[in-house]
Structure 1
Amino acid sequence: MSINEHIERMKDDIINSTVELVKIKSLEGEASEGKPFGEGPYIALEKALEISEKLGFKTKNLDGYVGYAEYGDGEEYVAALGHLDVVPEGDGWNYDPYGGEIVDGKIYGRGTTDDKGPIVAALYGVKAIMDEGLSISKKIRIIFGTNEETGSKELEYYLEREKPPVAGFTPDADYPLINGEKGITIFDLVKKFEEQKGDMILKKVYGGQAANMVPDKCEAVISCVETEEILNKLNEFVKRTGYDLKGEVCEGEIKLLCKGESAHGSTPELGFNSIMALMNFLGKITFSSNEINEYIKFMNEKIGMNLHGEDFGCYLEDEVSGKLSFNVGVINLEDSESKVILNLRYPVTKTLDDMLNPAKETLKDKGITIENFVHQEPLYYPEDHPLVKSLQEVYEEETGNRAELISIGGGTYAKEMPNILAFGPQFPGEPDTIHKPNEYITIHNLIKNTKIYANALYKLAK
């Protein structure tokens, strides 16, 4: 029996294991002993290792940080590296985000595509190799991460205790094959204010869930005397822009709610940024604090609804990976401070200084500081690299389509683990629901991924 025929026979088990993991709400939480990223990721890791043991794999749990399932013998190993943690579910779901409901051939839930379904596919791909008794010269590991969405700190822990694979992939991006990943920065813009006094005070602005998500909701609270004047301006603004923005008067305050559309922070053009849409309206109001007015003016003039940092002065572009992406992910303005979390991703052939120096120039003399700066260098594998060529060959054999090389703005484990490239699970031209409401994976694609990953790991391990 062939690998692919064996996978077809395991179809129901692959689906059930995916659903089991999707039902676990594996958001990062408060750390405790043996649970460095909280209860949810720990439970998901335990479940993944339990499934692996039942399938006949040797398993290891590295103190709750990360774990793996292993097959074969030898010093060297190849790997599929995926993550079990997820981003917050957000609003707008038609199905339980942690229900694993199957409707019209689709499994719905947070993590179905990013990344629980694909790492289950890789696991069962190796199960097919194991059951068929195919000869391999290297061990194969399926590595289960638990902190990819909020820092990938578990891989530092892993590499302090385990040597890296000699080759492999992370099923956490797009097909045909990712050989370039943009440089990623996440940082806070912090502005301090004097205490606000007067008849028109901006008490709060808060919105967004994570730096790497386009915010789908932002709210503000204004304390004012002339509430009717603000509501009139709001109505005119909504008529002119079409933005989903509503206001409600409550005990001398106006509460504003702006709704946008969530998307991954690496592709802000696929969403609609509710924070900056609300900032746009706030710029139509004259507040009692000139500091607040100047700050809102700066946000609108230097960021606005830009997607590529044009007005911020840090626009970059190259042939390999395209334009810099610019996402305002979170805002928290209250009392005498505003903190805005930005996620900027720059092209693979550019440097951090190319992006950061003009950004610093834009902030000069504005009283806005950069804090909590996090950076990942770009990743780029040339087209003649052996790993690139091997994965291209498998994709072409399994799909019958040409394996064009692409670069992405999303950061994957490939930046954290040597000898790894991002490979699937998203097929060209299909809807992208990652980090969005109603995330799903089709059963057809789950099984198709299993076949591709099985053959890729077999090729690398031979």
Structure 2
Amino acid sequence: MIVNKELIIDYLKSNQESIINDIRSLVEIPSIRDESTIDINQPFGIEIRKAFDKLIQIAKDKNFVVKDFDGYAIHIEYGEGEEVVGVLNHIDVVPVYTKELWLSNPFNVCEKDNHLYGRGVNDNKGPLVGILYALLFLRNLNIKPKRKIRLIVGGAEETTWECMEHYFSINEQPKFAFSPDGNFPIVNGEKGILYFNLRKKINEDKFRNHNLVEIKSNKEDGFVCDKIEAIFKTNDKKDLIKSLVYYTEIEEIEEEKILVRYIGERALSRNPHRSYNCAFNLAKDLDKIKGLNDKGIIIKDILNSYFTDDNHGKKLGLYTEDVNMGVSTLCIMSIFLEKDELNMKIDFRYPKGISLEFITNRINEVGKKENLIVDTYKDLKLLYVEPNSELINKLSNAYKRGFGKEVELFTKGAASYARVLENGVAFGPTIDGDIPNSHKANENISIDTLYKAIEVYIYALYNLAFQ
């Protein structure tokens, strides 16, 4: 094979400064979706448009062919041929939810302890630049590939995914593809994702000794509900406080009112088992209060009947387990009681073995029984690629060359662009032991991991496009 490790290592050493500078230039642009600045050729706002323009400049400076698809997506192309090898990345990033927890400026790459820190360095600007340099390496070999390679970059992966809908309404599906927006070795399974909202008007409320009047929580989708503030109006503060067990702290805010706080550990809603949901603690405390008002009883019963201490959807009748893809997960992301309306946002992720029709029918059954309004607002189909497929075999070969290890296939609850592909998977860059903090404070990527990923991507693209 003409592609050898020593050649790649020398190439990466000689381009180290350029690689980091290109990542830095993209991270400096806070490419967060902004509906207020939508315009022609910038359907996701000005900052995502700026990030696309910077990437186009970087690619053109390296003499690549670039095409812009109305600001929804671009592709960077190398080679010729009817068949396409696709690599799907995204230029948009999630907001900086907790800036006070960052140890450096999120939009200025900080290099420390052989890591790069900044919003998007791992998800997904670092891997994006890595793929660009993998293409540059292959082009420099002066060997004509059998298939053209397209680095496809979308602008709304963190939100609506309409970027890929627009792109593939114009362009053909690749014969082989992967998204460097996951983990090594190979993510051949991604669970189905359903976000839904449960709402209930509670107009009538009989006040008693202890009355739940308001609930507020964190608002961000994609995270376990890790902070709740519940306000009670009570005739006997001492008795109410004595009844509570699972709270974090209590504050007396008015003569007859107390504020009860529940604080947990932040975790992604796709991994609810890695934290403890504050809504569970609230439900358990409501269960201990004697003389609770009707509003409090209704909320307590809904929580305890369908959610409390259940991270897998058993109480809702949705639990599913698949030998290849693992088990379903269910997570309350937020809960609010404001102006006589209960509002809960739920994240449900599921493997093979259960249909979307069954899931929605079951949720609607519960909604009808409890007089809840059910709104579905995010729906991503599951992905599963058979282990013996040609794509998996070619990527497995690349992984083994790079890491010297046998491949293990696995499933994640996360969503990558691989879901929009007819024949694609998530493939790196994260390896065991990395803590990239994607979507969290202090997002980072190990420089060693990045360079190892580029090496593996060179092998993979050679296998997919040249052989």
TM-score by length of 1: 0.90
Paired with 1:101 and 1:258, the residues of 2 have a C-alpha distance of 34
Task: Say which is worse superposed, 351-360 or 380-389, in terms of deviation.
Answer: 351-360
Paired with 1:168 and 1:80, the residues of 2 have a C-alpha distance of 6
Are the counterparts in 1 of residues 79 and 144 from structure 2 also a CA contact under 8 Å? no
Say which SS state the counterpart of residue 186 (structure 1) adopts.
strand
Paired with 1:378 and 1:53, the residues of 2 have a C-alpha distance of 36
Look up the match of 2:87. Answer: 80
The match for 1:162 among 168, 171, 176 is 171
1:89 aligns with 2:105: no
Paired with 2:261 and 2:32, the residues of 1 have a C-alpha distance of 25
Report Cα offsets for 1:94-125 as digits up to 9, x if no partner.
33333321221111223222222111211111
Supply the RMSD in Å over aligned alpha carbons.
Answer: 2.5
Are the counterparts in 1 of residues 177 and 421 from structure 2 also a CA contact under 8 Å? no
Look up the match of 2:60. Answer: 53
Paired with 2:48 and 2:196, the residues of 1 have a C-alpha distance of 25
Are the counterparts in 2 of residues 7 and 125 from structure 1 also a CA contact under 8 Å? no
Are the counterparts in 2 of residues 179 and 406 from structure 1 also a CA contact under 8 Å? yes
The match for 1:303 among 301, 307, 310 is 307
1:380 aligns with 2:384: yes
- The gaps in structure 2 that reach 5 residues or longer are 1-5
1:33 alignment partner AA: D
The match for 1:219 among 221, 224, 229 is 229
Paired with 2:57 and 2:275, the residues of 1 have a C-alpha distance of 37
Are the counterparts in 2 of residues 213 and 435 from structure 1 also a CA contact under 8 Å? no
Are the counterparts in 1 of residues 436 and 444 from structure 2 also a CA contact under 8 Å? no
Paired with 2:455 and 2:422, the residues of 1 have a C-alpha distance of 24
Are the counterparts in 1 of residues 385 and 423 from structure 2 also a CA contact under 8 Å? no
Shift of 1:370: 1.3
Look up the match of 2:345. Answer: 341
Look up the match of 1:33. Answer: 39
Are the counterparts in 1 of residues 194 and 376 from structure 2 also a CA contact under 8 Å? no
Look up the match of 1:248. Answer: 251
Look up the match of 1:17. Answer: 22
Are the counterparts in 2 of residues 212 and 264 from structure 1 also a CA contact under 8 Å? yes
Shift of 1:126: 0.8
Q: How does 1:80-159 map to 2 (within 5 A)?
A: 80-91=87-98, 92-159=101-168
Say which SS state the counterpart of residue 149 (structure 1) adopts.
coil
Say which SS state the counterpart of residue 352 (structure 2) adopts.
coil
Paired with 1:90 and 1:103, the residues of 2 have a C-alpha distance of 22
Shift of 1:229: 4.5
- The gaps in structure 1 that reach 5 residues or longer are 239-244
Paired with 2:278 and 2:125, the residues of 1 have a C-alpha distance of 29
1:299 alignment partner AA: L
Are the counterparts in 2 of residues 81 and 413 from structure 1 also a CA contact under 8 Å? yes
Task: Say which is worse superposed, 273-282 or 28-37, in terms of deviation.
Answer: 273-282
Look up the match of 2:3. Answer: none
The match for 2:328 among 324, 337, 361 is 324
Shift of 1:194: 0.1
The match for 2:74 among 49, 67, 80 is 67
Shift of 1:398: 0.8
Shift of 1:265: 2.3
Paired with 2:120 and 2:155, the residues of 1 have a C-alpha distance of 12
Paired with 1:346 and 1:54, the residues of 2 have a C-alpha distance of 44
Paired with 2:230 and 2:289, the residues of 1 have a C-alpha distance of 13
Are the counterparts in 2 of residues 262 and 435 from structure 1 also a CA contact under 8 Å? no
Paired with 1:334 and 1:246, the residues of 2 have a C-alpha distance of 21
Task: Say which is worse superposed, 348-357 or 196-205, in terms of deviation.
Answer: 196-205
Paired with 2:117 and 2:71, the residues of 1 have a C-alpha distance of 27
1:23 alignment partner AA: E
Task: Say which is worse superposed, 356-365 or 178-187, in terms of deviation.
Answer: 356-365
1:74 alignment partner AA: G
The count of aligned residue pairs is 455
Paired with 2:399 and 2:308, the residues of 1 have a C-alpha distance of 41
Task: Say which is worse superposed, 107-116 or 207-216, in terms of deviation.
Answer: 207-216
Q: How does 1:354-365 map to 2 (within 5 A)?
A: 354-365=358-369
Look up the match of 2:452. Answer: 448
Are the counterparts in 2 of residues 202 and 223 from structure 1 also a CA contact under 8 Å? yes
Are the counterparts in 2 of residues 57 and 71 from structure 1 also a CA contact under 8 Å? yes
CA spacing shift, 1:24–1:461, aligned 2, 3 Å: same
Q: How does 1:198-217 map to 2 (within 5 A)?
A: 198=207, 201-217=211-227
Paired with 2:118 and 2:295, the residues of 1 have a C-alpha distance of 44
Report Cα offsets for 1:350-403 as digits up to 9, x if no partner.
322444444444444211121134322222111121111111110011110111
Are the counterparts in 2 of residues 52 and 69 from structure 1 also a CA contact under 8 Å? yes
CA spacing shift, 1:219–1:21, aligned 2, 3 Å: farther
